[in-house]
Amino acid sequence: MTRIGTVALNTFREAVRDRVLYNLVFFALVMIAAAILVGQISVGIEQTVIITLGLSAISIIGLLISVFMGVGLVSKEIDKRTLYALLAKPLRRWEFIVGKFGGLALTLTVNTAAMAAGLFLALFYVKHSIERADTTVLVAVYFILLKLALMVALAMLFSCFTTPLLAILFTTGLYIAGLFVHEMRGLQGGLMDPTLGRLLRWVSYVLPNFENFDVMGAAAHGRVIPGALIAQNTVYSALYCAIVLAVATAIFSRRNLK
Amino acid sequence: MYGKNEYMAEPAIDIENLTKDYPYGFLQLKKRRSLESLTMQVQTGEVFGFLGPNGAGKSTTIKLLMRLIFPTAGSARILGRPISDIEMHRDIGYLPEQPYFYDYLTAGELLDYFARFHDFSAAERHERVEGMLKKVGLESAGRIQLRKYSKGMLQRVGLAQAILHDPKVVVLDEPMSGLDPVGRREVRDIILELKKKGNTVLFSTHILSDAEMLCDRVGVIVGGKLQGVGAPSELVGLKAQGMEILFELPAGADGGGELLAQATRTGDRYRLQVEESGLYTAMERLGAAGARILSVAQVKPSLEEYFMHLVEADRAQAAAVEVRAK
């Protein structure tokens, strides 16, 4: 555990010293500030606009960080050969993978928390108070984090066996596909060949279901998010990440570092 | 000659039939053999030089030992344990070829990071890091981010991280590469210090003078095949030797005509190489021609000559195979 923590903390330190990250977070905060302006011209629905735009900004910036930095976690280490000296230490390859994942997950948590704080400040600026119903926004932020963790795991998996560019394309492709799993399940009936329908249904269960993490509408309108959904998404994300990281480790453990 | 652990039966590094093929081509179906059935031992406490031209298989062997790549066939043990045993890495230090480290860290932070994998306490880490920075001459640059380091400075950091935890076996891939004469001298001193402490050092190089100066034994690898292993003096002794006469020609001396034509002139002096059996005849003729003989020395073939002999033989063999294939 100590070795995983050491790798994770160093990954976090790398992210903290990366100026690109600050630019992105700054951009997100500007977006949230802009949401206040947009909210002011949206009479009666200021809160809804601010929450929707704010959560979207957090999600988009988080996705950019998770995909681009997630792919770079392994590929950059291989390209720059920084990994060589590290793997000669008493460190197993799976510990390296899990540590790297943990480091970026920690980075995303801190960034998302900072952006969420910006969002709450914007809400407070408009409403002059924070109500109990606003906790749904926190749940939405938590779901974004779960989604980002999954994205990091997927980005790492692809970067273990392909080029960074392809890894970015595959991860983004899977994300887009994962937004339509419910539609894929509903695309049966007379529209297509039954075999293809069954195959699509199977694929929809294997694909990461990103639709379940989207509760932006509920949060914007102050609707309660059921505890069961919170538990389900937490377990789903944890299990999916564990499986993806296990596959990534299996591939990376056999990889020749030329 | 081998230091305090000389009589330990088990070699520090034991390589048996290690073979590595790299797939290539669009479908990766073709295979290029990078290392062929390498079998050799590095004894405990010795400094072993791994010599070979670029692409000979030196780095491949070292990467195989470090488990950065995996063998197609064969096996290796370090300190009696299979190289797959991760705990064995506590006792080994490794300097990669042309090392590159996290450029957002300072040298001190990098060494501290690596030290954490060896379970040192915070105080011990601090002490080791400071000591090591001093040892490799980076005491004043220890707080600067590595992105501002020169190639030579990175090489020193690499060496520092390799020996930070006082490993029993140190594997250095081209440790002198990119260093100025001062840096090379410092690395040589560190290797000699390691040897004095009884550590085992395996290092690859193509700078033969370094190998000659430092190594108890060397292994020469060419074209992925080990061509010879032994003490440098043993290896070069395999070739025929001759004699060299150093002489001057005082004003008015004719120098013996034919012999003078064979000699090499450097300033006022001449060097003449002759067969051992023809030494006295040559000296008599030079004496008769008025030459003043300054010294006579045995010509000891250098490691470089031995090395070049092997490389040329390998090239000739490769060319012959190519011709046959055509």
Residue A125 belongs to a domain = yes
Distance from C-alpha of A177 to C-alpha of A173, rounded to nearest angstrom: 6
Q: Do B67 and A87 touch (CB under 8 A)?
A: yes
What mean pLDDT do residues A2-17 have?
Answer: 92
Q: Which residue has the higher pLDDT, A236 or A187?
A: A236
Residue A221: predicted pLDDT: 84
pLDDT category at B6 given cuts 50, 70, 90 is: very low
Question: What is this model's ipTM?
Answer: 0.84
Q: Which stretch of DSSP H or E encloses residue A56? A: helix A46-79
Task: Express each pLDDT in B134-172 by its tens digit.
Answer: 988 888 887 889 888 888 888 889 999 999 999 999 999
SS3 call for B32: strand
On the 0-12 / 13-18 / 19+ scale of CB atoms within 10 A, A55 is buried
Q: Which residue has the higher pLDDT, A150 or A188?
A: A150
Report the number of secondary-structure helices (H) and strands (E) in chain B. Answer: 10, 14
Distance from C-alpha of A163 to C-alpha of A165, rounded to nearest angstrom: 5
pLDDT category at B110 given cuts 50, 70, 90 is: very high
What mean pLDDT do residues A92-116 have?
Answer: 93
Chain B residues with beta carbon closer than 8 angstroms to that of A95: none
pTM, rounded to two decimals: 0.82
Residue A188 belongs to a domain = no
Chain B residues with beta carbon closer than 8 angstroms to that of A85: 94-96, 99, 101, 114, 158, 161-162
Assess contact for B27 and B194: CB atoms under 8 A: no
Residue A155 belongs to a domain = yes
Chain B residues with beta carbon closer than 8 angstroms to that of A1: none
What mean pLDDT do residues B127-140 have?
Answer: 89
Residue B5: predicted pLDDT: 45
What mean pLDDT do residues B296-311 have?
Answer: 74
Residue B3: predicted pLDDT: 43
Q: Do B99 and A3 touch (CB under 8 A)?
A: no
pLDDT category at B268 given cuts 50, 70, 90 is: confident
Domain extents for chain B? 13-236, 242-299
Look at residues B212, B201, B230, B208 and name the one whose alpha carbon lies nearest to residue B3.
B201
Q: Do A90 and B99 touch (CB under 8 A)?
A: no
Report the number of secondary-structure helices (H) and strands (E) in chain A. Answer: 11, 0
Residue A216: predicted pLDDT: 85
Q: Do A89 and B98 touch (CB under 8 A)?
A: no
Chain A, nearest residue to B110 by Cα = A10
Residue B289: predicted pLDDT: 83
Mutate: best of A84, A162, A251, A253, partner B, most B CBs <10 A:
A84
Residue B18: predicted pLDDT: 93
Residue B254: predicted pLDDT: 67
pLDDT above 80: residue A22 = no
The number of distinct structural domains making up chain A is: 1
Which amino acid is it at B247?
Answer: F
pLDDT above 60: residue B239 = no
Share of chain A above pLDDT 70, in %: 97
Share of chain B above pLDDT 70, in %: 92
Share of chain A above pLDDT 90, in %: 50
What mean pLDDT do residues B308-320 have?
Answer: 75
Residue B255: predicted pLDDT: 59
Distance from C-alpha of A72 to C-alpha of A69, rounded to nearest angstrom: 5
Chain A, nearest residue to B105 by Cα = A14
Chain A residues with beta carbon closer than 8 angstroms to that of B105: 13
Residue B96: predicted pLDDT: 92
Residue A208 belongs to a domain = no
What mean pLDDT do residues A118-137 have?
Answer: 81
pLDDT above 80: residue A41 = no
Residue A170: predicted pLDDT: 96
Residue B317: predicted pLDDT: 75
Helix axes B122-135, B107-116, angle to 10 degrees: 130
For the ranges A63-77, A123-137, A232-246, the maximum mean pLDDT occurs at A232-246
Angle B48-B40-B98 from CA coordinates, rounded to 5°: 50
Residue A185 belongs to a domain = no
Q: Which of A28-37, A94-103, B64-73, B90-99 has the lowest mean pLDDT?
A: A28-37
Residue B291: predicted pLDDT: 85
Q: Which of A242-246, B30-34, B42-46, B256-260 has the lowest mean pLDDT?
A: B256-260
Residue A123: predicted pLDDT: 82
Mutate: best of B103, B116, B156, partner A, most A CBs <10 A:
B116
Task: Express each pLDDT in A202-217 by its tens digit.
Answer: 888 899 999 889 888 8
Residue A166 belongs to a domain = yes
pLDDT above 60: residue A114 = yes
Q: Do B104 and A18 touch (CB under 8 A)?
A: yes
Residue A191 belongs to a domain = no
Residue A189: predicted pLDDT: 60
What mean pLDDT do residues A168-183 have?
Answer: 92
pLDDT category at A181 given cuts 50, 70, 90 is: confident
- Which residues of chain B are at the A interface, by a Cβ-Cβ cutoff of 8 Å? 22, 63, 66-70, 86-87, 89-90, 92-96, 98-102, 104-105, 113-114, 116-119, 158, 161-162
What mean pLDDT is reported for chain B? 85
Chain A residues with beta carbon closer than 8 angstroms to that of B90: 90
pLDDT category at A157 given cuts 50, 70, 90 is: very high
Q: Which residue has the higher pLDDT, B48 or B177?
A: B48
Task: Count other Cβ atoms within 10 Å, centred on residue A117.
Answer: 13
Share of chain B above pLDDT 90, in %: 37
Distance from C-alpha of A109 to C-alpha of A130, rounded to nearest angstrom: 22
pLDDT category at B1 given cuts 50, 70, 90 is: very low
Task: Express each pLDDT in B170-218 by its tens digit.
Answer: 999 999 887 888 888 888 889 999 999 999 999 998 777 788 888 999 9
Residue B62: predicted pLDDT: 94
Q: Do B101 and A82 touch (CB under 8 A)?
A: yes
Residue range(s) defining the domain that contains residue A66: 2-179+214-252
Residue B241: predicted pLDDT: 67
pLDDT above 50: residue B67 = yes
Give the fold, CATH level 3, of B13-236: Rossmann fold (3.40.50)
Q: Which stretch of DSSP H or E encloses residue B110? A: helix B107-116
User: How far A187 CA sits from the closest chain B CA (Å)?
Assistant: 37
- Which residues of chain A are at the B interface, by a Cβ-Cβ cutoff of 8 Å? 2-3, 6, 10, 13-14, 17-18, 80-82, 84-92, 254, 256-258
Q: Which of A18, A90, A257 is the closest to B68 by Cβ?
A: A257
